[in-house]
Amino acid sequence: MRDSSEIWTGKASSYDRARPTPPPALLDLLTQLIDLPHPALVVDLGSGTGLSTAIWGERAERVIGIEPNADMRIQAVRKVEDHPYAAHIEYREGVAHQTGLPDGCADIVTCAQSFHWMEPTSTLAEIARILRPGGLFAAYDYDSPPAIHWELDRLAQEVIIRLVELVKARGLAQSLKIWPKNKSLDPLRESGHFRFIREVALHHIEQGDAARFLEMTRSNAFSQQFQFTEQEIGFDRLGQAAFQHIGSEPIPWYVSYRVRIGVK
């Protein structure tokens, strides 16, 4: 199986502009669960452009983002140069099942919108190895698209379904492996590495216009990797609906997060 991170090459800027930033309440929740307001080390696996990493800069003494894709890492490093807590934030090349970090070094390990790209058995073994006793692992994802308008939601889901169907029908992603997001608790439970497991939901409001919505939809794993016309996947109709229901001025986006938690 080839390195799945290759599919993100060339998408870092677009991904970073369009994708949501995790809400501060997530940090409050995770640190409260283990009674540790200011973790010594947070490790963010599959850290991408740093949207889920830099948020820890003020809260943690250190945060390390592990990301295999060079374009994503470069974008993350460029952004952190202007961060007020840049000294707390570091990015390293690596993969989730081989971080190169010492045993028991981390208070919290996170996977934001990335755990489904990781082989769960080896990844969870590595997470358990680098977590200290009593440390916390959180795999979290946001529902896509955000809740904005029912018709827009329906058309966006149809675009993604059609895109996946075309990829499968044309045999374009046979070497890629993706694990289901909605079963993330199962591997945590079956791994035997955690003494406490549960799922929680969080909701957050962001602002966005039609252009950002369409860029977010395009910034998925397949839309630019494989060449499809807008008509083939229904993106032309989605674009019309986005400008009808959102327009060129930002409006509230209601973003729902599903957080799967394991305490070692």
Query: 257, 94, 116: which is closest to 179 by C-alpha?
Result: 116
Instruction: Quote the pLDDT of residue 1.
Output: 33
Highest CATH level, class, for 4-146+177-205+254-263: alpha beta
Looking up tokens 């494989």 gives 226
Query: How many beta carbons lie within 10 A of that of residue 170, not counting itself?
Result: 10
Instruction: Quote the pLDDT of residue 173.
Output: 63
Instruction: Quote the pLDDT of residue 94.
Output: 96
Instruction: Quote the pLDDT of residue 225.
Output: 57
Instruction: Quote the pLDDT of residue 229.
Output: 79
Instruction: Quote the pLDDT of residue 224.
Output: 57
Instruction: Quote the pLDDT of residue 92.
Output: 97
Query: 33, 101, 90: which is closest to 57 by C-alpha?
Result: 90
Q: What distance in Å separates the CA atoms of residue 44 and residue 110, rounded to the nearest whole number?
A: 5
Domain ranges of the chain: 4-146+177-205+254-263
**Helices 235-245/210-218 angle, 10° precision:** 150
Instruction: Quote the pLDDT of residue 193.
Output: 98
Cα within 13 Å of Cα(48), Cβ side: 25
Give me the residues of the chain with pLDDT under 70, please. Answer: 1-3, 172-175, 221-227
CA separation, residue 82 to residues 11, 41, 65, 78, 244 (Å): 21, 21, 17, 8, 36
Instruction: Quote the pLDDT of residue 232.
Output: 82
pLDDT digits (tens, 9 = 90+) for 62-117: 999 999 999 999 999 999 998 999 999 999 999 999 999 999 999 999 999 999 99
Mode of pairing for the β-strands spanning 196-208 and 41-45: unpaired
